[in-house]
Amino acid sequence: MSTDFSQPQRQSVVGIFVLFFYTLQQYARALWPIIVIWIFKFDQVNKTYLLLGTILTVVVIGVVSYLRYLNFTFFLDNENEEFVITEGVFNKTKTAIQLHKIQQVNINQSFVQRLIGVYELDVDTAGSNKKEGAIKAISHELALELKSRLLENEVKKSISETEEFPFQKSIEKPTEEEHPFIKISFLSLLKIGITSNYGRSISLLLVFFITVSDYIKKITGRDVLNDKNIENYVDKNFVIQTFFIFILLLLATVLAINLVRIVFKYYDYKITRQKGSLLLSFGLLNTKSTIIKPEKVQITTVTSNYFQKKMSILELKIRQATSGEKEERKSAIEIPGCSASESDAILKLLFRKIPKKGVMLKPNFRKLGFSLFVSIGLPLSGFAAFGYWVMPIVFNYSYLVPIYIILVGLVQFFKFKNNRLFIDDHFIIKQSGAWDISNEIIEPTKIQAITTSQLFWHKNLDIGSVTLHTAGGEISFQLGNFTTIRQYVNLWLYEIETSNSNWM
């Protein structure tokens, strides 16, 4: 029996507990420094006031959660073709989303929602940097039915386009098997976990350590980073051994963080064909289900490094239309640990063919010189100036300078060596990276704008830069042959003007 979405609907009653948890989580994030102080100074806090304050906080959060549940309704306005959401606690807000502007409808389930037995449905369009509508607690059957109703406009649009362009009938397959045609194995996730995202994990460790040290200093008055008593814990004769043990522990921690993050985030990763689109579902504690429509894909990135090539795995990142750089990073859909054949199958479904690298453009060697100046010349000049005028003691660490020059120089050399722009009749591929080699693929018809630039001292050298702007991000190529770049820019502009591609 189908649900009548033309009448205002409420979330599941048990959704009150979900709203209670999320509201409690918001308060905890805002007040966590005070909570930490209470924990460290628990013996000095008046227990009666603490208990009464806790009870009062829980009661207030409970009332707010109930009001949020009571005032939250959603329905389909068939006359105006809008999805309408009303929400609020004391001040109600009404959000009307035009059906034809809906880009994605995702069904997610967090750990708390899984315990209670409800799902979250997110509605996203390309015109905002946040989710326009989010229903926190509905049943899976209702979520699937509502998702189908919200995306009916896409089906109607594809049918009308097929009638207008009959030759596309041979491309569309009216009946497709809706079962996973790619499933990322647990072993592949482990391989990805130990071969990627080292920088991100180290950054998280540093941020965590600095944050904890700062709060310990505020609470206890003791500076952990400059604690002179640390020398008493380490024998000076074993400084080198201690240093290497620290490095090994750091590497082990980074690998553990990578493995846990990858497995928890992408566990049971399945890709299913669904009416010409890709349905992706994954997650261990927090499950996520999202749809990728080939015509709305803006940039597809294929990434691999030396170890991943040896293990026959790579990573795909797919970006659809977004409204800014921050949202672009959040909304990028990652497919980790797929093989070359699985990657080809995904690319073929997205582009109807496997992208090939065509004419290759190389950057001028001056790009390498400028990169070395910025990454080596300027930092060493700053180091020398700081040591000469401010703190001469830093010159005691001058033995690290050759190591820095060699490491940074090698990174910049390989970045320059791998920096290429490949141009085919149907695709533009930007290759980049020093260790992780990425190939960003776009179709000329998806380009929104093109920016070319040339510094006046580069005119005689005939070198310049180009930036391709899409709704999913930008692709830039610096210091290539400017005459060749302008020829291709004119060709791309012509294709953009004459194309009837529907990527919105």
Dump the DSSP string for 322-341.
Answer: -SSHHHHHHHPEEEEEE-HH
Q: Tell me the two tokens of residue 391.
A: 């703190």
**If pLDDT is split at 50, 70 and 90, which confidence band does 58 have?**
confident
User: What torsion do the CA atoms of 369, 372, 373, 375 make, to the nearest 10 degrees?
Assistant: 150
Q: Tell me the two tokens of residue 418.
A: 């791998």
Cα–Cα distance list, 87 to 20, 64, 182, 193, 386 (Å) = 15, 12, 39, 40, 56
Could you tell me where the DSSP H helices lie in 221-365?
230-233, 239-266, 306-310, 325-331, 340-351
Q: Tell me the two tokens of residue 377.
A: 């010349």
Whole-number average pLDDT of the chain: 80
User: Is the model more confident about 434 or about 33?
Assistant: 434
At 317 the pLDDT is 93
CATH number of this structure's domain 293-363+419-498:
2.30.29
**Residues 6-14: what's their mean pLDDT?**
86
Range from 67-81, 204-218, 270-284, 477-491 carrying the lowest mean pLDDT: 204-218
**Residues 144-171: what's their mean pLDDT?**
57
User: Is the model more confident about 174 or about 9?
Assistant: 9
Residue 183 has pLDDT above 50, yes or no: yes
**If pLDDT is split at 50, 70 and 90, which confidence band does 414 have?**
very high
Can 15-172 and 293-363+419-498 be said to share one CATH topology? yes
- Residue 83: name the closest of 146, 15, 160 by CA: 146
**If pLDDT is split at 50, 70 and 90, which confidence band does 273 have?**
confident
Share of the chain above pLDDT 90, in %: 26
At 17 the pLDDT is 85
At 208 the pLDDT is 64
Question: Among the ranges 33-42, 242-251, 348-357, which has the highest mean pLDDT value?
Answer: 348-357
**Residues 123-141: what's their mean pLDDT?**
75
Range from 75-89, 198-212, 244-258, 266-280 carrying the lowest mean pLDDT: 198-212
According to the CATH classification, is domain 15-172 in 1.10.287.130? Answer: no
Residue ranges of domains in the chain:
15-172, 293-363+419-498, 366-415
Residue 371 has pLDDT above 90, yes or no: yes
pLDDT digits (tens, 9 = 90+) for 286-317: 888 888 888 888 999 999 998 889 888 999 99
- Residue 189: name the closest of 335, 388, 27 by CA: 335
Cα Rg for the chain, rounded, in angstroms? 28
Based on DSSP, count helices (H) and strands (E) in the chain, helices before strands. Answer: 16, 20
At 52 the pLDDT is 81
Question: Among the ranges 27-41, 227-241, 360-374, which has the highest mean pLDDT value?
Answer: 360-374
**Residues 164-175: what's their mean pLDDT?**
39
Q: Tell me the two tokens of residue 361.
A: 């453009």
Q: Tell me the two tokens of residue 277.
A: 């689109």
* Predicted TM-score of the model (pTM): 0.76
At 131 the pLDDT is 64
Residue 490 has pLDDT above 90, yes or no: yes
Q: Tell me the two tokens of residue 43.
A: 């013996």
At 503 the pLDDT is 56
At 302 the pLDDT is 94
Residues 253, 204: Cα–Cα separation, whole Å? 11
At 173 the pLDDT is 40
At 232 the pLDDT is 52
At 177 the pLDDT is 45
At 190 the pLDDT is 87
Q: Tell me the two tokens of residue 56.
A: 């009062």
HSE-up (13 A, CA, CB side) for residue 172: 17
At 38 the pLDDT is 63
User: Is the model more confident about 116 or about 476?
Assistant: 476
pLDDT digits (tens, 9 = 90+) for 197-218: 766 666 666 666 666 666 556 6
Share of the chain above pLDDT 70, in %: 77
Cα–Cα distance list, 54 to 49, 50, 441 (Å) = 8, 6, 54
Residues 263, 256: Cα–Cα separation, whole Å? 11
Residues 4, 170: Cα–Cα separation, whole Å? 36
**Residues 437-463: what's their mean pLDDT?**
93
β-pairing, 428-432 vs 420-423, is: antiparallel
Residue 171 has pLDDT above 50, yes or no: no
**Residues 138-159: what's their mean pLDDT?**
73
Residues 137, 17: Cα–Cα separation, whole Å? 9
**Residues 347-373: what's their mean pLDDT?**
92
